[in-house]
Structure 1
Amino acid sequence: MIKENDFFTKRNDHSQIIEYNNPQFECFSSSAYFSANQHYFVPDHWHEDLEYLYVVEGELEYHVNGQNIIIHAGEGILVNSKRIHSNRSLPGKSCAFYCAIVHPCLLCSTRYIQQTYLFPVISPNSFDYLLLSSGDWTKQIIDELVRMFESPDIKNIELEILESFIRMFKILYAHLEKAVLPSPVSAARIGTFKSMLLYIQEHYHEKVSLEEIADVGSVGKTLCTKLFRTYTSKTPGEYLIHYRIQKSLDLLTYTRDSITDIAYAVGFSSASHYTRTFRDIMGCTPLKYRTNTVEDTASYHLVSRDNI
């Protein structure tokens, strides 16, 4: 197990280890609200778990294996196991959502169930993500997800959640063959890209060159740039700069460090360069962001950590 930066705890293969509400029940379920002056962002990562999210209010932007998706209120998304994904709120817009993440082990009681039903769905050759809409069969998944959060049986909450996850998976499996889904990407290319992405996330505070990033993936600089454009819509250098800015947001929100100290901490050569880049990306100065940002975010966990 590796403690990686401040965002995630990761396995040795660098997939994220979800911090479940109850460590003995492999599920994370939370509702959250972010106001228009907050900036919600989860950087690129992947995990073994299936990730369900339903937008109650506002909009969220997801990026899954190179595909950019805007999720509107009343819509949702299911991100398949081990797919690279990130999500963020849109500038100047509030958002509220339900998020439920489940490890595949909760869905398979026997090896037969695992091999017959689960593996075909979460394999690298299966879909990367599924959009959830009120206008087709995926509304059944939305209904289960909403019921999980809005009408829970608190006395038996783990059983209630498990039942909902199994229902959602049953609906998914029943419709999977006839669903029109985005084609999965090459597993080999994803593996190469993951290694280069992780190098940036681990060394963002240092001086990093394109050649170094390409060497990590054992590819040339041209292919390195092509892969980053494919999966992040940015060059490696652009991704590095954006990642540094995103890392600085927590320091601006949760510390009283000076702008200069934050600039150096996330890899910028000067406070002026950091401020100029921050304004270009975020639309305001770091100081203005710090002044306007509300630290507290409304959130609710179905399984309370206090009772563990």
Structure 2
Amino acid sequence: MQIKDFKVDETLKELTKHHTVVLPIACYETTIAQNIHGYIPLHWHEEIQFVLIVKGEAIFQINEEKLVVREGDGLFINSGCLHMAEEKNQSGCVYICLNVDPHFLLPQELRATYVYPYIQATNIPYLYINAEDLWGKNILDACIKINQSIQRKLPYYEIEITGQLTFIWQNLIMNGLKLEYDQTEMLKSHRMKQMLNWIHLHYTEKIRLDDIARAGQLSRSECCRYFKRILKTTPLSYVMEYRIQKSLILLQQAESNVTEVAYQVGFNSTSYFIDKFRKSMHMTPLVYKKTKGEEQLRHRDVCLRKDLYYPEIENVDESINQNE
């Protein structure tokens, strides 16, 4: 399953429900370039995440740090950490993504000792998983097995998955991790999320640097340092890019027009919107709208042809739903 447009709330918390029918996990393959934005935008979630790059290379940012993850290797992203991803050098990057509710890793009696200390530690926002290390290979192989189990859904596959998750977590925490708890880091993360939250609530309005700094209880200069250090951009540049990204969804609606979209996402000039959109997306909003419209038509044609060739599939789905 490919999630092309996952939803986030005002704090950038991802709203996608990470679970199958009976398990509080999700495992799916993601082609980065197929996301509606062309990359995986900044977000966070309570679940821990394991990534395995099956094709190409990806550049991940977790909190303040950026790193390249090679084909065959992977990544552990801790609960609550801001992260985003883009493919490197148009490599056609595809990765398996496994999101797990921390409460599902181990029985309740073991969580206080073997789960909570690790997801609360401030020195483990992520871990690079190298396939050449035994512990790393064990984790990545288990991720593949979980992905296969979810796809096949053989009898008792839920039990198989729980066993693999225990194996993954055991290999991770037995890697000699030294746990640290820095209150300054916790406060920094909280303030960053507060500022992002304020921007995402008010992006359609006129925004000043003072407003953003006040949301994080920071001075103007310290606010700029936060954005530069963590997001590698300025606060107002982030606002501009966020408005552009919000416009992508609106432009794909058949009844929308460029001028209306410009004002809906906070621009007070159509020409200014077009100029900034072109610099960000390397095309005009109108070209983007027409391109996406043609893609949607092609997709509908493919679906229609499938229905014509395989009309019985609909009846099969109905019978399955009735048996659930």
Shorter-chain TM-score range: 0.7 to 0.9
8 Å CA contact 2:76, 2:127 repeated in 1 = yes
8 Å CA contact 1:36, 1:91 repeated in 2 = no
Q: How does 1:41-190 map to 2 (within 5 A)?
A: 41-89=39-87, 92-111=90-109, 113-136=110-133, 137-150=135-148, 154-155=153-154, 156-177=156-177, 186-190=185-189
More relative contact order, 1 or 2 (CA 8 Å, 6+ apart): 1
Q: Return the alpha-carbon distance in structure 1 between the equivalents of residues 289 and 243 of structure 2.
A: 16
Compare CA radii of gyration and give the structure with the larger one.
2
Q: Which residue of 2 is the match for residue 223 of structure 1? A: 222
Give the drift of 1:127: 0.5
Give the drift of 1:93: 4.9
Give the drift of 1:92: 4.8
TM-score, normalized by length of structure 1? 0.82
TM-score, normalized by length of structure 2? 0.78
Q: Which has the larger share of strand? A: 1
Q: Which has the larger share of helix? A: 2
Q: How many residues are paired up? A: 289
8 Å CA contact 1:65, 1:185 repeated in 2 = no
In structure 2, the gaps of 5 or more residues are 1-5, 300-319
In structure 1, the gaps of 5 or more residues are 1-5, 297-305
**Aligned in 2, Cα 1:255/1:128: closer, same or farther, shift over 3 Å?**
farther
Q: Which residue of 2 is the match for residue 280 of structure 1? A: 279
Q: Return the alpha-carbon distance in structure 1 between the equivalents of residues 245 and 183 of structure 2.
A: 28
- 1:147 match: secondary structure: helix
**Aligned in 2, Cα 1:108/1:97: closer, same or farther, shift over 3 Å?**
same
Higher mean C-alpha displacement, 133-142 vs 186-195: 133-142
String of CA shifts for 1:108-164, please: whole Å, max 9, x gaps.
3123x1111112211133401011222223122111112222465512333233222
**Aligned in 2, Cα 1:275/1:17: closer, same or farther, shift over 3 Å?**
closer
Runs of 4+ in structure 1 deviating by more than 6 angstroms, as ranges, are none
Give the drift of 1:245: 1.3
**Aligned in 2, Cα 1:148/1:25: closer, same or farther, shift over 3 Å?**
closer
8 Å CA contact 1:120, 1:126 repeated in 2 = no
Percent identity for Structure 1 against Structure 2: 28
Q: Return the alpha-carbon distance in structure 1 between the equivalents of residues 38 and 168 of structure 2.
A: 27
String of CA shifts for 1:15-71, please: whole Å, max 9, x gaps.
445413336531122123355796433432222210112222233332211112233
RMSD: 3.0
